[in-house]
C-alpha cells in the first residue's frame, strides 16, 4: 500500500500504525462495516479505503498547480527552499528550487515570507453556485491563523484537474438535515448520530453539486478536498502543533493523517469546537459547566458558558485540558460575518463553480489586507 501520499492508513490516535502506509497489522479490503475498509488489527479500526492511484494523480496535479501559482514551494519536489532566478522575457520574476533546480515563474508574484501560525483553525462552509440546475452547492474549507485572524488557505471541492470517478462527489438525494442549534449539547450528540447514518463515516451528503455540461473540471468528494487542503498546509507549516476544527469526522481524519508523525510522537494537539455565540463583543470570562461523552467513539466534550454564549470543546489527542477555556473559532466567525456582506459573494448563485472559487480566493486576499492593517494599527 505504499504510495506517494498516504491516505489509506490507520487514523486512530495512540495506535502505533497512525498515518503509516504499510503495516503487518493491516488487512484489506474488509467489508465488515458495509464498505471497503482497511482493517488495523493493532487498534481494531476500519478506516474507509480510497483508490490510492487516482488520489495520487489528482493530488500531484493539485499541489503542482498551487505551487506554480503561489511560488511558496516547488511544483516538482515541493521543497520550500527557493532563490530568485532572474526574469522571463516579459520581465516577470522567476524562481529556482534549491533542491531539484526546477525553474518556474509564479503567477501571483507575491513572493513574500509567510509566518507560521501558532494554531490553525479550519471550518467548512456551503456556498451556492450556478450549475446544470438550480440549488447547486460547493463545499468550502477555510483555514486561519487562529491568533492573528488572517486566512492562510482556502479551497473548494471544485477542481480544474482530472479526477477519477472514485474521487468525485455524488449526491444520492439523502441530504443531511440541519440540526437543532438551540441546545449545543444536543447539537453535538445529533451531529455524531449523523456520522453513524452515513454510508461510511466520511461520505457526507451536503446537497446537489453538478457542473454545467460545457464546464471543465469536477466536483470532488469533500473528504478528498480536505486531504488536498491539509496537504498544502502541511507543506507550508510542517511543524504546526495545534489544530482547531469544526465538528466533522473526515476533517479529523485528514488532519491526523497529514501530520501523523507529530501525532504519533504526541507533539501535536487536535480539537473539535462547536459554538453558539449570541454576543461576540462580551469580555466576560468563560466558566466550565461539566463534561459529557458522545458518539461512536465516546469522545469527551467539555461545556463552557460566557453569559449568553456557549461552546463545546473536545480534545481528540489527549490535549492539555487547561487550554479548552481559551480555544475558539473566533477567527473564522469574524471572517464569515464579513464575507456575507460582500456583494460578489452574495451573488455566487449566479456564477460558475470555478468563478466562485476564484472570487473566494480574491476576497480572502482582501480580508487579509484588512486584518494586516488592523493589526498594524493596534501596534
Read off the pLDDT of residues 150-178 as tens digits, 9 standing for 90 and up: 999 999 999 999 999 999 999 988 888 88
∠ CA 7-12-16 to the nearest 5 degrees? 95
240: β partners: none
The tens digit of pLDDT for each residue in 1-13 reads: 345 789 999 999 9
Kindly report the pTM of this predicted structure.
Answer: 0.94
Asked whether the bond before 29 is cis by omega within 30 degrees of 0, the reply is yes
Hey, where are the domains in the chain? 77-113, 119-378
The answer to whether 124 touches 140, Cβ cutoff 8 Å, is yes
Please state, in angstroms and rounded to a whole number, the distance separating the CA atoms of residues 193 and 102.
49
Q: Is 203 helix (H, G, I), strand (E, B) or coil?
A: coil
The CA radius of gyration of the chain, in Å to the nearest whole number, is: 21
What is the grid cell recorded at 199? Answer: 454510508
- Taking CA atoms, 235 is separated from 66, 120, 231, 297, in Å, by 11, 14, 6, 30
pLDDT of residue 110: 54
User: Is residue 111 classed as helix, strand or coil in its secondary structure?
Assistant: coil
Q: Model confidence at 113, in pLDDT bands (50, 70, 90)?
A: low
Mean pLDDT computed over every residue of the chain: 92
Q: 262, 239 in Cβ contact below 8 A?
A: yes
User: Which helix (H) or strand (E) covers residue 357, if one does?
Assistant: helix 353-378
pLDDT for 296 beyond 90: no
Spatial neighbors of 78 by CB under 8 A, at least 6 apart, are 63, 67, 235
In sequence order, what are the beta bridge partners of 299?
294
Q: What is the pLDDT of residues 54-72, one digit of tens each?
A: 999 999 999 999 999 888 8
Q: What are the pLDDT digits (tens) for 78-112? A: 998 888 888 888 778 888 999 999 999 888 755 45
**Above pLDDT 70, what percent of the chain?**
97
Amino acid at each position: 500500500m505504499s504510495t506517494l501520499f498516504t491516505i489509506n492508513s490507520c487514523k486512530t490516535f495512540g495506535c502505533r500504525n497512525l498515518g503509516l502506509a504499510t503495516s503487518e497489522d493491516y488487512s484489506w479490503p474488509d467489508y465488515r462495516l458495509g464498505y471497503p475498509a482497511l482493517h488495523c488489527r493493532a487498534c481494531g479500526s476500519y478506516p474507509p479505503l480510497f483508490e490510492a492511484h487516482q488520489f495520487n494523480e489528482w493530488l500531484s496535479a493539485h499541489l503542482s498547480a498551487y505551487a506554480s501559482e503561489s511560488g511558496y514551494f516547488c511544483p516538482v519536489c515541493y521543497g520550500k527552499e527557493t532563490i530568485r532566478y532572474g526574469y522571463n522575457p516579459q520581465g516577470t520574476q522567476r524562481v529556482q528550487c534549491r533542491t531539484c533546480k526546477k525553474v518556474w515563474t509564479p503567477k501571483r508574484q507575491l513572493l513574500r515570507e509567510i509566518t507560521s501560525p501558532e494554531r490553525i483553525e479550519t471550518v467548512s462552509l456551503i456556498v451556492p453556485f450556478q450549475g446544470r440546475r438550480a440549488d447547486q452547492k460547493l463545499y468550502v474549507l477555510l483555514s486561519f491563523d487562529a491568533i492573528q485572524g488572517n486566512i492562510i488557505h482556502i479551497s473548494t471541492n471544485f477542481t480544474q484537474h482530472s479526477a477519477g470517478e472514485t474521487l468525485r462527489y455524488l449526491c444520492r438525494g439523502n441530504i443531511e438535515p440541519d440540526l437543532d442549534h438551540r441546545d449545543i449539547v444536543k447539537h453535538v450528540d445529533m451531529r455524531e448520530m449523523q456520522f453513524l447514518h452515513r454510508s461510511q463515516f466520511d461520505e457526507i451528503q451536503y446537497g446537489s453539486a453538478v457542473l454545467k455540461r460545457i464546464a471543465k473540471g469536477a466536483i470532488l468528494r469533500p473528504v478528498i478536498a480536505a486531504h488536498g487542503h491539509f496537504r498544502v498546509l502541511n507543506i507550508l507549516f510542517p511543524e504546526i502543533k495545534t489544530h482547531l476544527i469544526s465538528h466533522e469526522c473526515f476533517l479529523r481524519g485528514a488532519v491526523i493523517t497529514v501530520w501523523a508523525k507529530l501525532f504519533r510522537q504526541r507533539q501535536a494537539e487536535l480539537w473539535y469546537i462547536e459554538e453558539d455565540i449570541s454576543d461576540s463583543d462580551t469580555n466576560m470570562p468563560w466558566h466550565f459547566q461539566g463534561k459529557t461523552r458522545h458518539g461512536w467513539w465516546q469522545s469527551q466534550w467539555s461545556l463552557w458558558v460566557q453569559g449568553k454564549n456557549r461552546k463545546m470543546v473536545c480534545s481528540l489527542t489527549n490535549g492539555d485540558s487547561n487550554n479548552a477555556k481559551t480555544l475558539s473559532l473566533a477567527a473564522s466567525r469574524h471572517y464569515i460575518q464579513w464575507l456575507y456582506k460582500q456583494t460578489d459573494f452574495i451573488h455566487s448563485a449566479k456564477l460558475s463553480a470555478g468563478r466562485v472559487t476564484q472570487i473566494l480566493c480574491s476576497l480572502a486576499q482582501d480580508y487579509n489586507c484588512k486584518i494586516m492593517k488592523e493589526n498594524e494599527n493596534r501596534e
